Amino acid sequence: MDKRILFTADLPTSHWKKLGLQWFVGKDMDYLTDEMLGVWPEEIQAYKAASDELYDLYERAAQHIIDKRLWHRVGIPANAVRLIEHTWENRHQHVHLYGRFDLAGIIDGKPAKLIEFNADTATVMPETTVVQREQLKAANMAMDQQFNQLDLYLSAQFRRLAERNPDKVPQILLSTLGHEEDNLNADVIARAAVHAGFGVRHTPLEKVIFSPEDGIFVQVGRDDYLPFDFWFKLIPWEFIAFEEPALMDILIKIVLNDLAVIVNPAYTMLFQSKGMMAILWELFPNHPLLLKTTVSVQDFRGEAYVQKVIFGREGENINILDEHNRYMGFNKGDFGNFPSIFQAFEELPSDKNGEYYQAGVYWSGQAAALSFRRRDGYIIDTDSEFISHYILEA
């Protein structure tokens, strides 16, 4: 691993500020590294193939859950079922814009293994699309020395979204809960939408007007309201379903009455549930891309395992125990009210300094981009570093 590391020019804070990325270098954050990780072309192909195959497995598992009505197995609340079923049955219209597979393996010579799929509200997009390219330039490398086509494939998905909804005006409203990091990620989506011919407007969630009879609006004057046929929300579906049930009820009416299309669609809540990984293991036992995952800790006697809540985020509420049931790592968090799954522990690729590397492969209609996060511990959380990659030459 260490022989793959390339030191780039240490780009100053002012450089990132010019690009609007000051959040990533402010507040004494040591997040953006001045290093890049080399990846062989055949490893890039392995990441692509793993992502595309995993997405196929997720689609097959989703159909199984819907057919067998296994909602309780993946933690889906009753108020989300109808919308998930509708958007899944009409997924030609309700396009899955993007997601991110987090993977172990490949760069350490081991097979790729799925850690989890951030299918609904994946972040780390500004770092992947902008920071990586800037560091590639600083290293005097060509743009094709990196697998980084997320902008291109996002735009293609937006064009597909417009083509499949020809009765709708290509104007999209983007909303977050107001966190600066989320806004920067939404900017990546906005850029792709504009390149695809969409008009774009950013409005925080609390200022958006949702009408079950008329659709989604923003007030732009005293008596003037601007309607939107498309809404992108960097707000997890599970947050809306569990924390804002009244809004969920309105969104169900809006979508079922075809007043607006919401991206990512509601069925991505099903994909995002880590309970899906237990279903995947049942349907495809011993599949080379999957780790043993169940809902019972008793299935891991004498084995190291990871306990995760089905709707946890940012590395919270994770416990890692070895084969003797001793803690190897743990994180508290705000999601302990959700049920857990148990997954076989797979050590991430590491270097001589004890830093562990987790690959993030973005999917946007197909495998779209690669980036890495690393940390001096097993759990990749908010204390991890972002590290760019470059493609090694023989």
280-307 residue pLDDT tens = 999 999 999 999 999 999 999 999 999 9
Residue with tokens 């960097």: 234
pLDDT tops 70 at residue 224: yes
Of all residues in the chain, the percent with pLDDT exceeding 70 is: 99
Residues 319 and 192 in one domain: no
Residue 282 inside a domain? The answer is: no
Which of 304, 220, 236, 229 lies closest to 273, judged by CA? 236
CA 302 – CA 229 distance, rounded (Å): 53
Residue at 282: amino acid letter: E
Residues 331 and 357 in one domain: no
Residue 375 inside a domain? The answer is: yes
Residue 281 inside a domain? The answer is: no
Residues 193 and 224 in one domain: yes
pLDDT tops 70 at residue 168: yes
| Average pLDDT of the residues in 136-144 | 94
Task: From residue 226, give the alpha-carbon distance in Å to each of 158, 162, 230, 261, 273.
Answer: 21, 19, 12, 16, 34
Task: From residue 149, give the alpha-carbon distance in Å to each of 87, 135, 177, 237.
Answer: 27, 16, 27, 26
Residue 6 has a pLDDT of 81
| Average pLDDT of the residues in 152-169 | 98
| Average pLDDT of the residues in 329-342 | 82
Residue 286 inside a domain? The answer is: no
Alpha carbon 83 to its chain centroid, in Å, reads 21
**Sign of the torsion formed by the C-alpha atoms of 21, 186, 30 and 359:** negative
Residues 198 and 220 in one domain: yes
Residue 383 has a pLDDT of 85
What 3-state class would DSSP assign to 44?
Answer: helix
Residue 95 inside a domain? The answer is: yes
Residues 113 and 252 in one domain: yes
What mean pLDDT value characterizes the chain?
94
Residues 12 and 53 in one domain: yes
What are the φ and ψ backbone dihedral angles of 354, each rounded to 5 degrees? 80, 25
pLDDT tops 60 at residue 28: no
E strand or H helix at 47? helix 41-68
Decide: residue 317, CB within 10 A, 0-12 exposed, 13-18 middle, 19+ buried. buried
Residue 304 has a pLDDT of 97
Which of 30, 2, 32 lies closest to 16, judged by CA? 32
Q: How confident is the model at residue 329 (pLDDT cuts 50, 70, 90)?
A: confident
Residues 73 and 107 in one domain: yes
Residue 212 has a pLDDT of 97
Residue 348 has a pLDDT of 97
Residue 138 has a pLDDT of 93
Residue 63 inside a domain? The answer is: yes
Residues 88 and 169 in one domain: yes
Q: Say if residues 34 and 10 touch (Cβ distance below 8 Å).
A: yes
Beta strands in the chain, from DSSP E residues, in sequence order: 5-7, 32-39, 99-104, 113-118, 171-175, 199-202, 208-211, 215-221, 224-228, 230-233, 261-263, 293-294, 305-309, 318-321, 327-331, 340-344, 356-363, 367-375, 385-391
Q: What's the distance, Cα to Cα, between the start and end of the chain in Å?
A: 16
Residues 259 and 325 in one domain: no
Residues 190 and 310 in one domain: no
Q: What's the DSSP call for residue 289?
A: T
Residue 29 has a pLDDT of 65
Residue 27 has a pLDDT of 60
| Average pLDDT of the residues in 231-244 | 97
**Sign of the torsion formed by the C-alpha atoms of 96, 98, 102 and 103:** positive
Q: How confident is the model at residue 234 (pLDDT cuts 50, 70, 90)?
A: very high
Residues 104 and 34 in one domain: yes
Q: Say if residues 85 and 94 touch (Cβ distance below 8 Å).
A: no
Structure-derived torsion over alpha carbons of residues 177, 31, 152, 232, reported in degrees to the nearest 10: -10
Residues 178 and 314 in one domain: no
Q: How many domains does the chain have?
A: 2
Q: Say if residues 342 and 309 touch (Cβ distance below 8 Å).
A: no
Residue 72 has a pLDDT of 95
E strand or H helix at 50? helix 41-68
Task: From residue 384, give the alpha-carbon distance in Å to each of 315, 375, 387.
Answer: 10, 5, 10
Residue 354 inside a domain? The answer is: yes
Residue 283 inside a domain? The answer is: no
Q: What's the DSSP call for residue 284?
A: S
Domain enclosing residue 236, as ranges? 2-274+349-391
pLDDT tops 60 at residue 96: yes
Residue 198 has a pLDDT of 98
Q: How confident is the model at residue 23 (pLDDT cuts 50, 70, 90)?
A: confident
* pTM, to two decimals: 0.96
